[in-house]
Amino acid sequence: MNKDNPGTPLLEVKELEFSYGEVKVLHGLDFQINKKTIACVMGRNGVGKTTLMRNLVGLEKPSAGSIFFKGKEITNTEGYSRASSGFGYVPQGRQIFPLLTVEENLSVALSAAGIDQQTIPTSVYDTFPVLYDMRKRRGGDLSGGQQQQLAIGRALSTRPEVLILDEPTEGIQPNIITMIGEVIRRLVEENDMTILLVEQYVDFVKEYADEFLVMNRGLFVSKGTVDQLDTLTINKHLSI
């Protein structure tokens, strides 16, 4: 539920389709996420998870179907306008700028979203103190776990209402994985944020998410609350 339109999902997708050229990758996806929920998209490599996230944040345009944010259709709006209107995105593989400093990486996100106020919110450094300690260092000098914190910090710098993270635990050490899980839970509980996560690590989903969506070949084949995530579904659709 959100305060603007009680009863309206924060994010809603209807019959979403997408093709790369002639190759159809998303075959008609439907889902909704309510405010203050952590939903997780799971599925094997190549099924279309990243393509879905890129459509949601406006980096790709659907070939059919629609996307609604707080009840308003945004299907054809540009990526920068979604960033300034409440979407935060942590892409797969982090994609930080290796030659820019940590501080510059964070400011770039504010400019890209067209936000005039160029000050990095202190909450970003409060959430990830290592980014403050390393603010003058180049992004490329950070460890993988620190780069992931930078990628999440960068997405948080625009104070999003919905945060989309694509495989944030990929190639990350267990202690940082735990930290990321705790951070996202806190963002939901303390900042009323809504989170959509792509994640293949089942234990992480069970520990931190509320709802799951399993994707196979561009379709959702199973959905539910995480307590309904059973071994049969996991073995059938996830690479274990």
Ligand X SMILES: Nc1ncnc2c1ncn2[C@@H]1O[C@H](COP(=O)(O)OP(=O)(O)O)[C@@H](O)[C@H]1O
| Min dist. Cβ of residue 205 to Mg ion (A) | 15
Strand (E) or helix (H) holding 53 = helix 49-56
Nearer to ligand X, 131 or 202 (CB): 202
The number of angstroms, rounded, from the C-alpha of 220 to the middle of its chain's C-alpha atoms is: 18
Of residues 90-129, those binding Mg ion (CB under 5 A): 92
User: What is the contact mask toward Mg ion in residues 43 to 62, using x (rule: CB under 5 A)?
Assistant: ------xx------------
171 makes contact with ligand X (CB under 6 A) = no
Q: Which residues pair with 90 in a beta bridge?
A: 165
Stretch that binds ligand X, among 6-14, 32-40, 46-54, 78-86 (CB under 6 A): 46-54
What residues numbered 4-23 form the site for ligand X, per CB under 6 A? Answer: 20
Query: Of 45, 117, 119, 239, which lies in the binding site for ligand X, with binding defined by CB under 6 A?
Result: 45
Closest distance between Mg ion and the C-beta of residue 50, in Å?
3
Contact region for ligand X (CB under 6 A) — 44-52, 93-101, 108-116, 178-186? Answer: 44-52
Residue 239 binds to ligand X (criterion: CB under 6 A) = no
Region near ligand X per CB under 6 A, out of 42-50, 82-90, 95-103, 121-129: 42-50
Q: Is 51 in the site for ligand X (CB under 6 A)?
A: yes
Check binding of 57 to ligand X (CB under 6 A): no
The set of residues, in sequence order, having a beta carbon less than 8 Å from that of 18 and lying 6+ positions away, is 24, 25, 26, 48, 51, 52, 55, 60, 62, 63
Asked if 47 interacts with ligand X (CB under 6 A), we say yes
CA dihedral 57, 88, 134, 101 (to 10 degrees): 40
In 104-210, where do the E strands start and end? 162-166, 194-198
Q: Are 197 and 40 in contact (CB under 8 A)?
A: yes
d(CA 54, CA 61): 8
**Burial group, residue 16, by CB count within 10 angstroms (0-12, 13-18, 19+):** buried
**What's the closest the beta carbon of residue 196 comes to ligand X, in angstroms?**
13
Q: Counting contacts by CB under 6 A, is residue 46 touching ligand X?
A: yes
Across the strands, what pairs with 69? 11, 72
Chain residues binding Mg ion by CB under 5 A are 49-50, 92
